[in-house]
Amino acid sequence: MSGSIKLASNENPWGPSPKAVRAIRSELLNLHRYPDASCFYLVNALARKAGVDPAEVVLGNGSNEIIDFLVKAFVREKDEVITSHPSFLMYQKFVQIRGGINYVVPMRDMHHDLGVIREMVSDRTRLIFIDNPNNPTGTTIQPVDLYQFLSDIPETIIVVLDEAYIDFAEKQQRVDVFSLIRNNAGRCPVVFLRTFSKAYGLAGLRIGYALMAREIASCLQKVRPPFNINQMAQVGALAALGDEEYYERTLARTQAGLLYLSREVEGLGCKSYPSQANFFLIDVRGNADKLYNSLLTKGVIVRSMSAYGFETFIRVTVGTEEENKRFIKSLAESLAELRGR
Ligand SMILES: Cc1ncc(COP(=O)(O)O)c(C=O)c1O
């Protein structure tokens, strides 16, 4: 339907950074050349920003591709990988493709159940994926609990902390990347996944990155195709990274949007769940699939959580002010229809 609004994929609704657009425009006349395979400028800028070495940075065609690299590099048939349910579904998909075995730990009260994840570890476990903030709940793990958990995981297992939404989270929710990458004597190595698809507004360019110890990075470099990051993505991401004003504005607007949306949905008799990301869960206290379909007829696309086993939940991404208002108006109408009023 033309004129639809999409609040389903946790994208940045305010368009890309103008600096990224300018950088891409001025690169267009170089399209006849292959991209820089080493991604020199972007890798160095990311390393500087994170306070790590360039050899500790790996780029992917979206952070999605780095999940694939990790599984390709470290998971053989019958090896075990631990994930949570619900969480980002691609972890399990890539493991299945490689013939690995997924152990899926149900979340407890919308949070990763770190105690049970620890208990699931066996001598066949290779990777543990933890999205923090979690998609779809938007919850984070308290840093003190995360440090404790990591110190309990054996050195032979890599813990992947997927921080696709960390740029939206409160500062006190963030963990110290440098010390977790460098000081891993006696405990598991940690890989951080990040993306330009969310707060940095470049989902269409497909660019993500990961930070990790250089020994792990060199394993991933072996499975990384040489030109996986196109030239537009390299220059666009570099410019977006330097656009603090865009990032700060995105953050402020997202927080304002979350506040507005959660207040309004509560006013409509739904329950909203607090989130550290740019989306949140709503218990609509009715059939989520029916509500999803009803919203769809009004040109409003959200995500029904029924496929995750949450029959009465939808996940909604913060949109522009106008989109948020339209969502609330449509939600009120759809709820009235479904409640038979
Ligand atoms: C938790 C999480 N990780 C990773 C990704 C992949 O992001 P991308 O491949 O766009 O970098 C997403 C996308 O929605 C996500 O929600």
Count of positions (residues) in the chain: 341
| CB of 317 shorter than 6 A to ligand 1 | no
Closest CA to 149 of 119, 182, 126, 115: 115
For the stretch 195-251, pLDDT in tens is: 999 999 999 999 999 999 999 999 999 999 999 999 999 999 999 999 999 999 999
Closest CA to 128 of 144, 142, 113: 113
The whole-number pLDDT of residue 341 equals 63
For the stretch 131-147, pLDDT in tens is: 999 999 999 999 999 99
Rounded to whole angstroms, what are the CA distances from 320 to 12, 258, 329, 335, 339? 9, 11, 14, 22, 28
Is 18-241 CATH 3.40.640.10? Answer: yes
**Which of the listed residues 135, 141, 205, 229 should we mutate to test ligand 1's pocket, taking the one with most ligand atoms within 8 A of CB?**
135
Atom number in ligand 1 closest to CA 134: 1
> Using CA atoms, how far apart are residues 332 and 309, in angstroms rounded to an integer?
24
Q: Which CATH number fits domain 5-13+245-338: 3.40.190.80, 3.40.50.10860, 3.90.1150.10, 3.40.50.300?
A: 3.90.1150.10
Domain map (residue ranges) of the chain: 5-13+245-338, 18-241
Distance 173 CA to ligand 1 centre (A): 19
Distance 165 CA to ligand 1 centre (A): 8
Atom number in ligand 1 closest to CA 10: 14
Q: Where are the beta strands (DSSP E) in the chain?
A: 5-6, 57-60, 80-85, 101-106, 125-131, 158-162, 190-195, 208-211, 271-272, 279-283, 300-301, 303-304, 313-317
The whole-number pLDDT of residue 114 equals 98
The whole-number pLDDT of residue 185 equals 85
The whole-number pLDDT of residue 2 equals 75
Instruction: List the strands of the sheet with 313-317, edge to edge.
Output: 271-272, 279-283, 313-317, 303-304
The whole-number pLDDT of residue 306 equals 96
> Using CA atoms, how far apart are residues 97 and 27, in angstroms rounded to an integer?
37
> Using CA atoms, how far apart are residues 6 and 29, in angstroms rounded to an integer?
33
From the first residue on, what is the mean pLDDT of each consecutive set of 10 residues in the chain (341 residues)? 91 98 97 97 98 98 98 98 97 98 97 98 98 98 97 97 98 94 91 98 98 98 97 98 98 98 98 98 97 98 96 98 98 95 63
Q: Which two tokens stand for residue 234?
A: 């390299």
> Using CA atoms, how far apart are residues 38 and 68, in angstroms rounded to an integer?
19
